């Protein structure tokens, strides 16, 4: 149980284009979903937190107009990287939590490797 999937697993796009990454909780309802970014040999950095049906909360330094997050249902959140640039190339990992209480465990997706050429 508690499986989180991401699609696509990897994507290559040209500079200036937009790319959408999906995150799905397969066997539970995720009240809260998180998006992380991980650069090579670095740890995960939280980008934003989204609750179903409401606007995402972005961490300091993350451009909300560039990284559009939609959490339209209890099992799906999407991250759209708009007007992508080579510096956006990274490993993007989503995470989902079943409840709203802070003690619930977070379950992580397998990640999406984005390369912007």
Partner 1 sequence: KQEVTQIPAALSVPEGENLVLNCSFTDSAIYNLQWFRQDPGKGLTSLLLIQSSQREQTSGRLNASLDKSSGRSTLYIAASQPGDSATYLCAVRGGANNLFFGTGTRLTVIP
Size of residue set near partner 1 by CB under 8 A:
25
Stretch that binds partner 1, among 11-19, 66-74, 75-83, 99-107 (CB under 8 A): 99-107
Q: Please give the Cα distance from 84 to 19 (Å, whole number).
A: 8
Residue 44 touches partner 1, criterion: CB under 8 A: yes
Rank residues 57 and 117 by Cβ distance to partner 1 and give the closer one. Answer: 57
Residue 87 CB neighbour total at 10 angstroms:
9
Which residues, in sequence order, are bridge partners of residue 37?
A: 45, 92
Give Dmax (Cα) for the chain: 41
Stretch that binds partner 1, among 12-20, 44-52, 65-73, 80-88 (CB under 8 A): 44-52
The binder of partner 1 chosen from 17, 18, 29, 42 (CB under 8 A): 42
Query: Each residue of 24-60: b (16+ CB within 10 Å) or e?
Result: bbeebebbbbbbbbeeeeeebeebbbbbbeeebebee
Stretch that binds partner 1, among 13-21, 62-70, 79-87, 96-104 (CB under 8 A): 96-104
Which residues in this chain contact partner 1 in the complex, by CB under 8 A? 6, 32, 34, 42-46, 49, 57, 91, 93, 95, 100-103, 105-111, 113
């Amino acid at each position: 149980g508690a499986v989180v999937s991401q699609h696509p697993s990897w994507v290559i796009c040209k500079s200036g284009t937009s790319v959408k990454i999906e995150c799905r909780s397969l066997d539970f309802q995720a009240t809260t979903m998180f998006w992380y970014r991980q650069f090579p040999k670095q740890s995960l950095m939280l980008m934003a937190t989204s609750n179903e049906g409401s606007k995402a909360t972005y961490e300091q330094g993350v451009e909300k107009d560039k990284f559009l997050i939609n959490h339209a249902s209890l099992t799906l959140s999407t991250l759209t990287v708009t007007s992508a640039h080579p510096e956006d190339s990274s490993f993007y990992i989503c995470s989902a939590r079943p409840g709203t209480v802070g003690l619930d465990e977070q379950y992580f997706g397998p990640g999406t490797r984005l390369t912007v050429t």
